[in-house]
Amino acid sequence: MKILLIDCDTLRPDHLGCYGYPRPTSPFIDSIAQDGVRYNDYYCSDAPCLPSRAALVTGKFGIHTGVVGHGGTAADMRLDGTGRIMMDGNSRDNLPAVLKRYGMHTVSVSSFPERHGAWWFNAGFNECYNVGKRGLETADEVTPFALDWLACNKNKEDWFMHVHYWDPHTPYRTPLEEGNPFEDMPLPQEKWMNEDILNEHREKEVGPHSARELSMYDDAVTPRFPRQLGQIRTMKDYKKNMDDYDTGIWYMDKHIGKILEWLKAEGIYEETAIIVTADHGESLGELGEYDEHGSADYSTTHIPMIIKWPGAAKNAVSNGLHYNLDLLPTLKELLGPLPAHNISEKIVGIFEEPKYDGISYAETLKEGKDGGREYLVVSQCAHVCQRSVRFEDWMYIRNYHDGYHLHPEEMLFNITEDPYELHDLAKEKPELCHKGTYLLDKWYTENMKKMVHRCQTDPLWTVLAEGGPFHCKGHLPEYIKRLNETGRSWAAEELEKRHPEI
């Protein structure tokens, strides 16, 4: 079996042609969707980058792995503790380790482990290739590693390759000589974003990556990344910013095409399973945030998932609710029973089937059905502390730390009618907020009962106890100064009231 997992950082599904985007950003990804199944309601359980990939490879929620943030205790995978055997649980039961037990040679092309100090991500891979720029590389620097490995291993029958592209992630870095393929194309987003909304964002929305602070807490720009703006002042700026995001997707897609062309030239495209997904989406104006994935909202947690599987459904769509952590048990079901344990496995302690939080959706892939869960709970503790519930038409967001955005304690959006999250209906629909609270408490209770060690705490509360989200620590005094200097003293006063500990 040959499996190619294309991991596209910061990719919104609604910016892909196969998800209805009118701009030609993704012809090669779209072609994969035509040959497979596209999942419309797919989410990362824990955002952003580090917690999301922890959930992906372990098949477990951040509340169980312990990884929910980008710094502090909650950025490290929990240890197995007294029950640890010769192989720890991650290197024994994670995604690449399991595929290795199916007899696949596993390889990763990614700088993610170095960028986040997440060396556990490499567990289970036979080979790891680090481009060496900690996530600032471009697609033309990633693809040669993948093509070289494929060329050198063309005769291998069974392999799993993880290829990680960063191009849609800020700072936008597509080489300038590629130009702007969307310069003469109108913005589809203008159906919801306009000058009035942008001006309101500039005057009333504050916090890191607001319209006046694209560089997190200020508007700094650097010649190293000439495509990246420091502020969005006008709709012309907004279009340039969106063009550069789309150009990053287009450039990445072009390089994905080089891999697809190689597979077809070698005559192995049809027999290769191809998975295209992302770690998280991106806010491009939603909740007044730009160029960031700093919330547990729809724009950040909603991700693409496209699977082309030999012998499975083609050009099909699934509308059921799924998590990224559901992929691991899905692959296990598709691949069938694991081979019998050999003597060396018994020595290191591979005896029992691991307990995953993920639920297989293999049937949706085989038959193109919806399937899915009744509701999802998604988390963000790196930029804010939020847990949100995705149910029916709704996204209910609970704020535990506002990340200096001045969000209310709870928010509610009808994402079917309002996917750009313009209208917070929490005050108008308290009964739906109550339902969201009930589902959140139900999820929390069920998952706290599953803790391996009952003394373990919810890592969200660990983040709060350690001073709040990593990307907030130490920034508020200078940001309050900036707010006062830029005519937003009202926001400075409110932040000082909300966060008197600073």
pLDDT tens for 40-56 read 999 999 999 999 999 99
Better pLDDT: 370 or 103:
103
Give me the torsion for CA of 173, 174, 178, 179, rounded to 10°. Answer: -60
Give the residue among 74, 100, 28 at the shortest CA–CA distance from 458: 74
Q: What is the pLDDT of residue 191?
A: 75
Q: Is the dihedral of CA 484, 488, 489, 493 positive or negative?
A: negative
CA pair distance 393, 321, nearest whole angstrom: 11
The secondary structure of 134-155 as a DSSP string is: TT---HHHHHHHHHHHHHHTTT
Does residue 169 carry a pLDDT above 90? yes
Asked if 277 and 324 touch (Cβ cutoff 8 Å), the reply is: yes
CA pair distance 50, 115, nearest whole angstrom: 9
Residue 18 pLDDT level (bands cut at 50, 70, 90): very high
How do the residues of the chain divide into helix, strand and coil, expressed in percent and rounded to 5?
40, 15, 45
Helix axes 235-265, 27-34, angle to 10 degrees: 50
Output Rg (C-alpha) for the chain, integer angstroms: 22
3-class SS of residue 37? strand
431-452: average pLDDT: 95
Does residue 282 carry a pLDDT above 70? yes
Residue 339 pLDDT level (bands cut at 50, 70, 90): confident
CA pair distance 56, 37, nearest whole angstrom: 19
DSSP H or E segment with residue 30: helix 27-34
Give the residue among 390, 377, 168 at the shortest CA–CA distance from 281: 168
Could you tell me which CATH class the domain 2-368 is placed in?
alpha beta
279-303: average pLDDT: 98
Choice among 23-32, 180-189, 218-227, 335-344 with the minimum mean pLDDT: 335-344
Residue 368 pLDDT level (bands cut at 50, 70, 90): confident
Q: What is the pLDDT of residue 352?
A: 66
Q: What is the pLDDT of residue 165?
A: 98
**How many percent of the chain have pLDDT more than 90?**
89
Kindly give, in sequence order, each residue whose CB lies less than 8 Å from that of residue 363, ignoring residues fewer than 6 positions away: 369, 371
pTM of the model: 0.96
Q: Give me the chain's average pLDDT, please.
A: 95
Q: What is the pLDDT of residue 353?
A: 74
Buried/exposed code over 414-428 (b: 16+ C-beta within 10 A; e: otherwise):
bbeebbbbeebbbee
Q: What angle do CA 228, 169, 2 make, to 5 degrees?
A: 150
* Per-residue pLDDT tens digits for 249-269: 999 999 999 999 999 999 999
Residue 413 pLDDT level (bands cut at 50, 70, 90): very high
Does residue 338 carry a pLDDT above 80? yes
Residue 342 pLDDT level (bands cut at 50, 70, 90): low
Q: What is the pLDDT of residue 354?
A: 83
* Per-residue pLDDT tens digits for 173-212: 999 999 999 999 999 876 799 999 999 999 999 999 999 9
